[in-house]
Amino acid sequence: MLVVNRFRVEEEAGPAFLAELRVALEALAGKAGYVDGRIGRNIDDPTLWVLSTRWENVGSYRRALSSYDVKLNAVPLLSRAVDEPSAYELVEDAAALNVAVPRSGAPSGPRSGPPASD
């Protein structure tokens, strides 16, 4: 799975933010299931940064987020990311894409309403 976190940072704060990104990436990289990660800055807009990481599966990523080291060194930074979905499945040849499935407790189909009276 791929995780993409984007950040808006004032240009003059860039060097300090890069240091924070490196600390966060190091904390994530130490967790089971981590595959690799990269830090990037937008070519056209230097206030836009990205932290992308790859994980063996979504469970590995979620467990990493709950570890003490990551809560201390990465979560405060990740909480400043642009508010948008960040987890993606990797599209591989011949692999089926995921299908949206309601979580347990959610209605499983269209509501039919109360029974009609005669």
Write the CATH number for 55: 3.30.70.100
What domain range is 84 assigned to? 2-88
Do 73 and 26 meet the contact criterion of CB atoms below 8 Å apart?
Answer: yes
Does residue 102 lie in a domain region?
no
Does residue 117 lie in a domain region?
no
Give the pLDDT band of residue 3 (cuts 50, 70, 90).
very high
Average pLDDT over residues 87-101: 78
Does residue 100 lie in a domain region?
no
Does residue 115 lie in a domain region?
no
**Average pLDDT in the chain:** 88
Does residue 95 lie in a domain region?
no
Does residue 15 lie in a domain region?
yes
Counted domains in the chain: 1
User: Could you read off the pLDDT of 54-85 as tens digits, one per residue?
Assistant: 999 999 999 999 999 999 999 999 999 999 99
Q: For residues 2 and 116, what is the distance between their CA atoms, to the nearest angstrom?
A: 49
Does residue 27 lie in a domain region?
yes
